[in-house]
Structure 1
Amino acid sequence: MKFNCLVVVFLIFTLCELAAGQTAAEVAAYKQMQQTCIKELNIAAGDANLLTTDKEVANPSESVKCYHSCVYKKLGLLGDDGKPNADKIFKFAQIRFSSLPIDKLKALLTSCGATKSTNICDFVYNYEKCVVKGINA
């Protein structure tokens, strides 16, 4: 379970770091996107605070897991049908993991993208776990 919390923290840290290089308007839009997902998913205030301040969420609930798919959707990484947009995910991953060789990144994303899940929340959550595990291997 500790690994799952690490994944949550890593994703939020990465997304916030991406936002740090953006303009003030883009950062404000990103923060608004976070709050919109938190409200849409009715995430408890304590968990929301942890999600937005790069802290671990112990025993992530289904809403916390769905937070990531909500953020992915708002970033345009998922279509309205919930299917991943491979091109956009790859571009996002290139920024996120800029020190990783392109061929290793492509192989990792392809492998992790084959993850089977019952719903989009589980898919994104499991995809994130797979990517982080692959990066750290």
Structure 2
Amino acid sequence: MKVIYLLVVFLIFALSELAAGQSAAELAAYKQMQQACIKELNIAASDANLLTTDKAVANPSESVKCYHSCVYKKLGLLADDGKPNTDKILKFAQLRFSSLPMDKLKTLLTSCGATKSATTCDFVYNYEKCVVKGISA
């Protein structure tokens, strides 16, 4: 009986380590996508440092506003028509903001998603700004 118990405990730890490894791999891929978008959009290093640490950029250029849209597209969070894929956004947000309770995260994503903007870049920029502000509040 003790052997079965130890086996179950080992299996649980092994599976949690596997899940943690996937999250780390996914976050590493996210960092690579961030850098690719920074390069594609020719964003200045000072602005890039702010963007990659979820800090606000004062007087953002059009390239800065399109940064999050670029990353979202690379992650598959936006469809070709620019509309957000809410299921994928929620899964990604769970990884990115894992310390936030799920109900608060869902409420925040819903309220921030109600933002209306003229372009996809503006929508995603404002959406990100809203989410980050809501999390730090």
Q: Give the residue type in structure 1 aligned to 2:25.
A: Q
Distance across 2 between alignment mates of 1:76 and 1:52: 19
Q: CA deviation at 1:30?
A: 4.7
Residue of structure 2 in register with 1:100 after alignment: 100
Per-residue CA shift, 1:67-123, capped at 9, x if unaligned?
A: 111011101111111111000000011111212221111111111100011111111
Distance 1:100 1:35, change over 3 A: closer
Q: Does 1:38 align with 2:38?
A: yes
CA distance in 1, matches of 2:40, 2:88: 24
Question: Which residue number in structure 2 is paired with residue 74 of structure 1?
Answer: 74
CA contact (8 A) 2:56 2:129 kept: no
2: CA distance, partners of 1:109 / 1:127: 8
Distance 1:99 1:31 in 2: 19
Give 5+ residue unaligned stretches, structure 2: 1-21
Q: Percent identity?
A: 80
Partner of 1:119: 119
Distance change >3 Å, CA 132–CA 35, structure 1 → 2? closer
Provide the rounded CA distance (Å) in 1 between the counterparts of 2:94 and 2:34. 22
- Which of structures 1 and 2 has the bigger CA Rg? 2
SS state of the match for residue 134, structure 1?
helix
The offset of 1:40, in angstroms, is 3.2
Decide whether aligned partners of structure 1 residues 32 and 92 sit closer, same or farther in structure 2, where only a CA change above 3 A counts: closer
CA distance in structure 2 between the aligned counterparts of 1:46 and 1:103, rounded to whole angstroms? 34
Could you list the per-position Cα deviations for residues 12-54 of structure 1 after superposition, in whole angstroms to 9, with x for gaps in the alignment?
xxxxxxx99228xx84x55553344234324346645x36874
Distance (Å, rounded) in 2 between the aligned partners of 1:70 and 1:80: 12
Change (3 A) 1:108 1:52: closer
Q: In structure 1, give the amino acid aligned to 2:41.
A: L
TM-score normalised by L of structure 2? 0.67
Root mean square deviation, CA, Å: 2.8
**TM-score when normalising by structure 1:** 0.67
Match of 2:13 in 1: none
